[in-house]
Amino acid sequence: MTKELICITCPNSCRISAELGENGTVSVSGNLCPRGEIFASNELTCPKRSLTTTVRTVFGDMPVLPVRTAGEIPKEMIMDAMAVLSGLVIRERVKCGDVVVRSILDTGCDVIATLDL
- If phi over 0 gives left and psi between -120 and 50 gives alpha, with beta otherwise, what is residue 111? beta
Which superfamily does 52-113 belong to?
Answer: CPE0013-like (3.10.530.10)
Domain boundaries, the chain: 2-45, 52-113
Q: How high is the pLDDT of residue 21?
A: 85
pTM: 0.83
The reported pLDDT for the residue numbered 2 is: 85
Whole-angstrom distance, CA of residue 22 vs CA of residue 27: 11
Measure the CA–CA gap between 13 and 89, rounded to whole angstroms.
Answer: 39
Distance CA 108, CA 71 (A): 9
**Residue 20: predicted pLDDT:** 85
pLDDT (tens place) for every residue of the chain, 117 residues total? 788 999 999 999 999 999 988 887 888 999 999 999 999 988 888 899 999 999 999 999 999 999 999 999 999 999 999 999 999 999 999 999 999 999 999 999 999 999 998
Number of Cβ atoms within 10 Å of the Cβ of 52: 11
What does the pLDDT read at residue 62? 96
